[in-house]
């Protein structure tokens, strides 16, 4: 699997890549239905995906990583170097890790999570955190299976939704 960053210069996402990203996002209907990040999880549009990624890339400490296998986009991860509202939190955060629904259980999620962890480990970070929305039992099981442990429960920043906060030591 090849991991490549989507750079801030890529805010104007080329059409073919935006088509791939939109298909990947649209394949995850259940997640988007739970998260409410898109108004209609059955009709996710390229301009919505572009706006979502532009919002992420507007943060100077954010990184969007694209995962490809045999040239095909299979996953995306969004990370932050630090929590945007907690200056006492020393850990970077995984804001999103999404694998094309057609490729679940293929090992791509585990590989992408491992690549994100390795990037932070190489940067000298001691741990990484993420939040899983309440009701996302599959997501919680995935992260726990990778060695993450629940350390807190709080609302997310965007929509005040209840979440479990997980951490993994690197």
User: In the CATH scheme, what is the code of domain 2-169?
Assistant: 3.40.630.30
Is pLDDT larger for residue 124 or for residue 160?
124
DSSP state of 101: G
The answer to whether residue 85 scores a pLDDT higher than 80 is no
> Where do we find the tokens 């296998």?
69
| pLDDT average, residue stretch 31-60 | 91
Q: Which of 83-92, 96-105, 155-164 is least confident?
A: 83-92
Angle at 120 between CA 118 and CA 124, to 5 degrees: 110
Specify the pLDDT at position 11: 60
pLDDT tens readout for residues 48-84: 999 999 988 888 899 999 999 999 999 999 999 988 7
Name, in order, each residue with C-beta under 8 angstroms of 61's C-beta and a sequence gap of 6 or more. Answer: 80, 81, 82
Specify the pLDDT at position 125: 97
Specify the pLDDT at position 9: 63
- b vs e for 145-155, b when ≥16 Cβ sit within 10 Å of the residue's Cβ? eeebeeeeeee
Asked if 5 and 65 touch (Cβ cutoff 8 Å), the reply is: yes
Average pLDDT, the chain: 92
């Amino acid at each position: 699997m090849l991991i490549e960053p989507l750079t801030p210069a890529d805010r104007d996402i080329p059409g073919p890549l935006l088509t791939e990203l939109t298909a990947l996002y649209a394949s995850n209907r259940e997640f988007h239905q739970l998260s409410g990040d898109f108004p209609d999880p059955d009709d996710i549009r390229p301009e919505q995906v572009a706006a979502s990624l532009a919002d992420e890339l507007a943060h100077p400490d954010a990184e969007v990583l694209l995962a490809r296998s045999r040239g095909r986009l299979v996953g995306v991860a969004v990370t932050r170097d630090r929590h945007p509202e907690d200056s006492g939190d020393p850990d970077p955060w995984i804001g999103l890790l999404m694998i094309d629904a057609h490729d679940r259980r293929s090992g791509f999620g585990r590989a992408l999570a491992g690549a994100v962890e390795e990037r932070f480990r190489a940067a000298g970070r001691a741990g990484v955190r993420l939040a899983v929305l309440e009701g996302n039992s599959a997501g919680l099981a995935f992260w726990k299976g990778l060695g993450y442990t629940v350390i807190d429960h709080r609302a997310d920043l965007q929509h005040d939704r209840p979440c479990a906060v997980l951490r993994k030591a690197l």
